[in-house]
Amino acid sequence: MNVLLLGSGGREHALAWKLARSPGLTRLYAAPGNPGIAGHATLVRVDPADHAAVIAFARGHDIGLVVIGPEAPLVDGLADSLRAAGVPVFGPDKAAARLEGSKGFTKDLCARAGIPTAGYLRVRSRAEADAALAATFALPVVLKADGLAAGKGVTIAYSPAEAADALDALFDGPGFEATGEAVIEEFLDGEEASLFVLTDGTAIMPFGSAQDHKRVGEGDIGPNTGGMGAYSPARVLTPDLEARAIAEIVEPTLAAMREAGTPFSGVLYAGLMLTATGPKLIEYNARFGDPEAQVILPRFDGDLLPVMLATAEGRLGELAPARFVPDTALTIVVAAHGYPAAPRTGGRIDGIRDAEATGALVFQAGTRRDGQTLVASGGRVLAVTALAPSVAGAQAAANHAVDAIALPGGFHRRDIGWREVARERAGG
Ligand code: AMP
Ligand code: GLY
């Protein structure tokens, strides 16, 4: 079967790497892809925003499955267009992608279905936000743009002045423009974990857990990023807590989506806060995480293509549960100097082969070829993944592999997985 993969980041490199190992794959195409993805796929120019062009490409190249990596084409309804044209697609329709595309939509769904999540109010103007803050919310308080904001839409405000500044930025920002709304939320206390499930709308296949490191600096300080590293599994999400999250959060969500006539098909990524009273939903994403895919997929001990196809075709319930190797996978993002505010691109990347020679996997995120030279073209440049029986071992192996990489002006965190390493040392 021929497959078309859409996207150009480290997540898509991990997807391409895994799909390329599938015995059922004939040809993998990627648009736009990147130089790392080019090692597994033929790169083609097809604009995901041009639905007719994607359909024409799929028909012209006998594509049996389109895999949509990032959220923007999902929220834009590309999956709807492909399904309407009879092309199987991994990824939810526009109406179902609102679980990621509109925080207010998801909060209302949680409220109706009794799903544990932070208390909230949807607001449509600065005046409404000020009134809600004064009347209802204690500090700290969480302020969110309603729509997609590329990881920049959330502020945790610890003082009224911080809240006012965040609201100024918010009612001026891209996430607000998208839907004209914001959400004010109660602050949840606890440790975060991400749970992934594949679903065809009805059947659920748990697909691993991970913990991301969103802050740019070691010790979790500095501004939020798209993610500076991650590890899987997230052992804080014990089998018991995972079962609760599926029963109390994921299943009622999928049931509500079915009842609304907009079933969710694809991968549902639940960002959870593990609070003293149990798991609560922070947010949903309608696609794999980046860099979470770079630790989930290397642990997946199975053939990805038939699983994705069964998801797309509503046959997921026929398959056996996904199996994962017991090792911990840990990935370290190598970022360009200045990320996340103003990354300095163009730096020359060396040492990928040497890093791979240590046994690590090097996924490319923001790279491009400049003649024979590979150079940084984005904020997050590479994700370097290592596996080991212990978290400390995976951290050491990933750090060792990253040391082989040379990117002038690049930086990375050496403490990915620190919470779990500390627990391991404490014998917990
Ligand atoms: P989101 O973009 O919704 O994933 O939010 C980004 C980050 O903000 C999350 O990963 C959490 O660390 C934090 N966050 C979001 N909502 C809350 C909340 N209600 N309470 C505490 N932290 C939150
Ligand atoms: N790493 C967070 C995300 O993919 O949304």
- pLDDT digit of tens for each residue in the chain (428 aa)? 999 999 999 999 999 999 999 999 999 999 999 999 999 999 999 999 999 999 999 999 999 999 999 999 999 999 999 999 999 999 999 999 999 999 999 999 999 999 999 999 998 888 888 888 888 888 999 998 888 776 667 889 999 899 888 888 777 655 556 567 888 999 999 999 999 999 999 999 999 999 999 999 999 999 889 999 999 999 999 999 999 999 999 999 999 999 999 999 999 999 999 999 999 999 999 999 999 999 999 999 999 999 999 999 999 999 999 999 999 999 999 999 999 999 999 999 999 999 999 999 999 999 999 999 999 999 999 999 999 999 999 999 999 999 999 999 899 999 999 999 999 999 85
Residue type for position 224: N
| Nearest Cα residue to 254 out of 66, 115, 424, 403 | 115
Residue with tokens 């002045």: 161
Atom of ligand 2 nearest to the CA of 230: 1
Whole-number Å distance, alpha carbon 11 to ligand 2 midpoint, is 10
Q: What residues contact residue 240 under an 8 Å CB cut-off, 6+ apart? A: none
Q: 3-state DSSP call for residue 236?
A: coil
Q: What is the pLDDT of residue 150?
A: 67
Q: Pairing between strand 42-43 and 27-32?
A: parallel
- Is residue 385 within 8 A of residue 299, CB to CB? The reply is no
Q: What is the DSSP letter of 292?
A: T
Name the residue at shortest CA distance from atom 15 of ligand 1. Answer: 282
Atom of ligand 2 nearest to the CA of 212: 1
- Is residue 232 within 8 A of residue 208, CB to CB? The reply is yes
Whole-number Å distance, alpha carbon 126 to ligand 2 midpoint, is 28
Whole-number Å distance, alpha carbon 282 to ligand 1 midpoint, is 6
Q: What is the pLDDT of residue 151?
A: 62
Q: What is the pLDDT of residue 428?
A: 59
Atom of ligand 1 nearest to the CA of 271: 4
Q: What is the pLDDT of residue 70?
A: 97
Distance CA 281, CA 288 (A): 17
Distance CA 341, CA 52 (A): 35
User: Around Cβ 285, how many Cβ atoms within 10 Å?
Assistant: 21
Distance CA 131, CA 346 (A): 47
State the DSSP H helix or E strand holding residue 23, giving kind and residue range, or none if neither: none
Name the residue at shortest CA distance from atom 3 of ligand 2. Answer: 289
- Is residue 36 within 8 A of residue 57, CB to CB? The reply is no
Whole-number Å distance, alpha carbon 154 to ligand 2 midpoint, is 13
Q: pTM for this structure?
A: 0.95
Whole-number Å distance, alpha carbon 131 to ligand 1 midpoint, is 22
The binding-site residues of ligand 2, defined as CB within 6 angstroms of any ligand atom, are 212, 226-227, 285, 289-290, 292
Q: Which of 74, 195, 292 to mutate to test the pocket of ligand 2 (most atoms within 8 A of CB)?
A: 292
Q: Which of 196, 211, 285, 339 to mutate to test the pocket of ligand 2 (most atoms within 8 A of CB)?
A: 285
Q: What residues contact residue 179 under an 8 Å CB cut-off, 6+ apart? A: 101, 102, 104, 146, 147
Q: What is the DSSP letter of 39?
A: G
- Is residue 11 within 8 A of residue 69, CB to CB? The reply is yes
Residue type for position 241: L
- Is residue 308 within 8 A of residue 22, CB to CB? The reply is no
